[in-house]
């Protein structure tokens, strides 16, 4: 000790400072930090300390959450996996040594939850770990005033109510809820710190874009007891580039293929096979999409509705193809009724409405359909009761169904696009 004092005096003399005055302004040598003095402080603080007892009748625990990343948002399992750690701050008056000048130079000490009281807090909507938040190896910081800071971290897998109405252009809001276990709101109350959600180290997710966050307080009722509860709300929006290229575009292409079954000639032999192939492709695609949508009836995906409508239209096209093939191969000797003939004449005019095939330049021939045989105009004029053959009726039906399906596909696809774009208008 004497050597230390001599060294201090020598240094002060070398700087031209009067030793007596300088020593009066320096802290007492006895107050310099040593491990022994911290051990002594711990002995005083924890001499009669009981970690299972709360420090005051009503413990106010301030909390914030530092979000590091959203690992996954599983729409099928309806869970959100996030990497974060909470910071809990409360005042333990039993660990206050600010009034003890002997240890005024010791600004803080560290302990663990095995020796210090920690509020029993659980993630209320966790689906993996239902126990209290705990980490026996994590140091807990205690400052002179008894303010205690504890920052446990983990990967939290929580339930999330998924709304698949606008899948894959959906926006989801998931909540992480924490509450006390055992201690009621009259014993431990939870409140937010000044900055409740910290995203300074947040890493973006490749599938979900972070939109916004918010917080709210609430009460949890278990029987006749009331517990304090905090809610951390996160709004995420699905990134659409992947789904535009791998879901929407193939879906539109498949839907357009349904129409062209009526462009295949019956004599080609592939008409029904093509129709069934497109039908099976849409059915398989509907199954793939259904695998990514939660099995719930709470929300109905417009994409599923659109695919089911397309599947129904594809089934109808297969049935109509069978009908057209049957008409085409009807024996010639089987008489065609006047009603069918009149329908055929009306259909031939309908499919050629304002079409070049209905116009003629030399008044000698006219195309009843783009791919039908030419009909002599003079014969038609002379005999107003021109009778179509079964193959011609089949071709008229093909042309009519082709135009009908084109109109249906455009209407359905436009309606689907408008509905899916509605969330972006709000």
Contacts of 179 (CB under 8 A, 6+ apart): 121, 122, 124, 190, 220, 227, 228, 229, 230
pLDDT at 79 over 70: yes
Query: What's 237's DSSP letter?
Result: E
Neighbour tally for 189: CB within 10 Å: 18
The β-bridge relationship of strands 365-367 and 374-376 is: antiparallel
Q: Look at 22-36, 265-279, 300-314 and tell me which has the smallest mean pLDDT.
A: 22-36
Task: Using pLDDT thresholds of 50, 70 and 90, give the confidence band for residue 267.
Answer: confident
DSSP string of 372-424, one letter each residue: SPEEEHHHHHH-TT----HHHHHHHHHHHHHHHHHHHHHHHHHHHHHHHHHHH
Q: What's the angle, vertex CA 96, arms to CA 93 and CA 102, rounded to 5?
A: 160
pLDDT at 157 over 90: yes
pLDDT at 72 over 70: yes
User: Per-residue pLDDT averaged across 165-189, rounded?
Assistant: 92
- Average pLDDT over the chain reads 83
* Region for 132 from its dihedrals, namely left if φ exceeds 0, alpha if ψ lies in -120 to 50, beta otherwise: beta
- The pLDDT score that the predictor gives to residue 358 is 52
CA atoms within 13 A of residue 42's CA, in its CB half-sphere: 14
pLDDT at 173 over 90: yes
* pLDDT tens-digit map of 320-356: 999 999 988 888 888 888 888 888 788 777 777 434 4
pLDDT at 364 over 90: no
- The pLDDT score that the predictor gives to residue 59 is 95
CA distance 304 to 287: 10
- The pLDDT score that the predictor gives to residue 390 is 87
Contacts of 98 (CB under 8 A, 6+ apart): 104, 144, 145, 146
Query: What is the token pair recorded at 45?
Result: 């603080």
Q: Which is more confidently placed, 8 or 412?
A: 412
Supply the pTM of this predicted model: 0.75
pLDDT at 285 over 90: no
CB-CB contact of 261 with 321 (8 Å): yes
Which class for 279: exposed (0-12), middle (13-18), buried (19 or more C-beta within 10 A)? buried
User: Per-residue pLDDT averaged across 192-211, rounded?
Assistant: 93
Contacts of 165 (CB under 8 A, 6+ apart): 299, 300, 301, 302
Q: What are the backbone angles phi and psi of residue 195, rounded to the nearest 5°? A: -115, 95
pLDDT at 176 over 60: yes
- The pLDDT score that the predictor gives to residue 15 is 53
| Maximal C-alpha separation, the chain | 138
The percentage of the chain sitting over the pLDDT mark of 90, rounded to a whole number, equals 44
């Amino acid at each position: 000790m004497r050597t230390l004092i001599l060294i201090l005096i020598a240094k002060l003399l070398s700087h031209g400072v009067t030793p007596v005055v300088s020593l009066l302004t320096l802290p007492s040598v006895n107050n310099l930090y040593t491990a022994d003095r911290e051990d002594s402080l711990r002995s005083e603080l924890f001499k009669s300390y009981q970690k299972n007892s709360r420090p005051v009748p009503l413990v106010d625990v301030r909390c914030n959450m530092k979000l590091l990343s959203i690992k996954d948002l599983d729409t099928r399992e309806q869970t959100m996996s996030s990497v974060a750690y909470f910071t809990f701050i409360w005042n333990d008056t039993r660990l206050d040594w600010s009034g003890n000048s002997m240890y005024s130079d010791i600004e803080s000490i560290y302990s663990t939850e095995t020796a210090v009281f920690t509020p029993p807090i659980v993630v209320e909507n966790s689906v993996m770990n239902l126990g209290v938040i705990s980490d026996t190896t994590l140091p807990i910081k205690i400052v002179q005033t008894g303010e205690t800071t504890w920052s446990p971290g983990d990967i939290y897998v929580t339930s999330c109510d998924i709304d698949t109405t606008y899948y894959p252009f959906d926006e989801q809001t998931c909540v992480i809820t924490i509450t006390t276990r055992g201690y009621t709101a009259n014993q431990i109350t939870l409140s937010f710190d000044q900055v409740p959600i910290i995203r300074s180290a947040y890493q973006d997710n490749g599938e979900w874009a972070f939109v916004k966050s918010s917080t709210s307080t609430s009460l949890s009722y278990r029987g006749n007891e009331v517990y304090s509860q905090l809610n951390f709300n996160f709004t995420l929006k699905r990134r659409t580039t992947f789904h535009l290229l791998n879901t929407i575009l193939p879906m539109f292409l498949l839907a357009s293929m349904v129409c062209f079954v009526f462009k295949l000639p019956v004599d080609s032999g592939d008409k029904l096979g093509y129709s069934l192939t497109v039908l099976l492709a849409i059915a398989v695609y509907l199954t793939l999409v259904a695998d990514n949508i939660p099995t719930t009836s709470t929300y109905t995906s417009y994409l599923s509705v659109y695919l089911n409508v397309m599947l129904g239209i594809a089934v109808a096209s297969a049935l109509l193809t069978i009908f057209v093939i049957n008409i085409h191969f009807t024996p010639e000797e089987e008489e065609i009724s006047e009603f069918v003939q009149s329908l055929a004449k009306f259909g031939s005019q309908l499919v050629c409405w304002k079409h070049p095939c209905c116009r003629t330049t030399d008044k000698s021939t006219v195309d009843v359909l783009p791919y039908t045989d030419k009909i002599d105009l003079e014969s038609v004029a002379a005999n107003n009761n021109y009778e179509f053959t079964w193959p011609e009726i089949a071709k008229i039906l093909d042309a009519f169904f082709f135009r009908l399906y084109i109109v249906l596909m455009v209407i359905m696809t436009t309606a689907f696009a408008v509905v899916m774009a509605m969330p972006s208008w709000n």
